[in-house]
Amino acid sequence: MAGKFSFKRFSEIDLDDPFFIELKGDYLGNEHSTGFIEWFRKKSTDGSTALVFEDDKGVGAFIYLKNETEAIELTDQILPAVPRIKIGTLRLAERYRGQRLGEGAIGLALWHWQKSKVPDIYVTVFEKRDDLIGLFEKFGFHRVGINKNNECVYVRNRASVDYSDPYKSFPFINPNFPKAGYVLVNDSYHDELFPYSEVKGELQPQLGLAVTNGISKIYVGASRPPHYNIGEPVLIYRIYKGTSGAPQHKSCITSFCVITDIIEVKSFGRYLMQFDELIARIGNKSVFNENDLLERYDKDKNVVVIEMLYYGYFGEGNNVNKNWLDTHGYWSKSGEYPTSVQLTPTQFKEILTEGNVDVSNVIIN
């Protein structure tokens, strides 16, 4: 996907881009709300910024987030005034609808909400935008009513996280998980799958690439199915394949995910799934192209696909290396492959803490 996300001032964004035609038409302004053009110009004047995806055709996506504390007036009730994050605008160009750009954009907004620690996040959307409504519902937003501008109002609340599904609970991990584990990824694949997870001295393109690629990730392995269950967290271990320095200091935990699916494709040379079905299941979430996948499918004795949601990252200078894991007894024992290791909830939390993650803001009751 050509193009990238970047933060831009409203004053730097071309309001005449065809991308904004639909927004201008949807928000003409009335006694309850300001028209889109007037609102945009006010934001340009006050120096506000938005997250904008641009490619060679112009604007492809636009996200605006704001802090609010006022009450929300609905047609049948008033939601009390509490601190909230409002997704003021989230819109995708027609050419990017149905792709992973929207998923990544919502992931970014929910990460922002998580870090703010405010109780609620909400969005308003017209009922005709069933594509966006479906995406918000997938990520745990629920409809609370209609506002006076005739928009549907969708809300998520920290005190009532739905842990029945990893998408609905993102980015909060179910506090009742029984165990955790490791997913081992070679450095070259890791840096394309998890671009937020910088390794010191090896900076990756950060915000734009991470959001563009979405937050659902696919790992293709050549071992028997691991012990993971859907909904369990895993730590992403970047295997250093370079030749300079000590591997035990350069191979490290960079980020953490939650398992959403495990697909056994091939077992002891026996095919359990047709290749076309495999391609349909994983879509565009894998770093492998179709030819690479076909080679793995044909040649590997075992093929297992692990789908996961990218819940968080440690960041440059915070990654937890193999030496620390070994020293603290969190790595594999002699003869045990690391993906067989089952970490207790306490061990998982201690590794997150070592990675400078605020565990109390990731695992909440």
- 8 Å CB contact between 181 and 342: yes
Residue predicted with more confidence, 97 or 358:
358
How far apart CA 48 and CA 65 sit, in angstroms, is 10
Cα–Cα distance for residue pair 352/304, rounded to 1 Å = 26
Which of 102, 84, 105 has its CA nearest to residue 157? 84
Does 181 have pLDDT greater than 60? yes
Write down the pLDDT at residue 209: 42
Share of the chain above pLDDT 90, in %: 53
Strand spans (E) along the chain: 4-9, 49-55, 58-68, 72-73, 78-79, 84-92, 120-125, 142-146, 152-157, 181-186, 216-221, 233-239, 252-267, 270-271, 303-313, 320-321
* Rounded Cα distance, 353 and 175, in Å: 15
Fold of the 4-160 domain:
Aminopeptidase (3.40.630)
What pLDDT is attached to residue 207?
A: 39
The residues, any chain, with a CB within 8 Å of residue 176's CB and separated by 6 or more, are: 163
The per-residue pLDDT for 199 is 39
CA distance 316 to 212: 20
pLDDT tens digits for range 234-248 = 999 998 887 666 666
According to DSSP, the residues that pair with 309 across neighbouring strands are 216, 258
User: Length of the chain, please?
Assistant: 365
The C-alpha atoms of residue 36 and residue 28 are separated, in whole angstroms, by: 6
Maximal C-alpha separation, the chain: 71
pLDDT digit string, tens, across residues 278-288? 988 887 677 67
Q: What is the pLDDT of residues 30-89, one digit of tens each?
A: 777 778 999 999 999 999 988 888 888 888 888 899 999 999 999 999 999 999 999 988
Q: How high is the pLDDT of residue 200?
A: 37
At the topology level, CATH places domain 181-351 in 2.30.130
Kindly state the DSSP code that residue 173 receives in the 8-state scheme: P
For the stretch 259-285, what's the b/e string if a residue is b when 16 or more beta carbons lie within 10 angstroms of its beta carbon?
A: bbeebebbeeeeeebeeeebeeebeeb
Is 181-351 the same fold as 4-160? no
Q: Which of 95-109, 155-169, 252-266, 348-362 has the lowest mean pLDDT?
A: 95-109
pLDDT at 301 over 50: yes
Residue 212 pLDDT class (50, 70, 90 cuts) = low
Q: If you ran DSSP here, which 8-state letter would residue 326 be given?
A: H
The domain limits of the chain are 4-160, 181-351
**DSSP β-ladder status, 181-186 and 320-321:** unpaired
Contact 206, 198 (CB under 8 A): yes
Residue 182 near residue 235, CB atoms below 8 Å:
yes
Residue 273 clears pLDDT 60, i.e. is over it: yes
How would you classify residue 87: left for phi > 0, otherwise alpha for psi between -120 and 50, otherwise beta?
beta
Give pLDDT, residue 204. 34
Sheet strands side by side (includes 152-157): 4-9, 49-55, 58-68, 84-92, 120-125, 152-157, 142-146
- Which of the two residues, 33 and 175, has the higher pLDDT score? 175
113-122, 235-244, 284-293, 326-335, range with the lowest pLDDT: 284-293
Averaged pLDDT score across all residues of the chain: 86
CA distance 285 to 292: 14
pLDDT for residue 334 is more than 80:
no
The answer to whether the CB of 82 falls within 8 A of the CB of 69 is yes
Does 205 score more than 50 pLDDT?
no
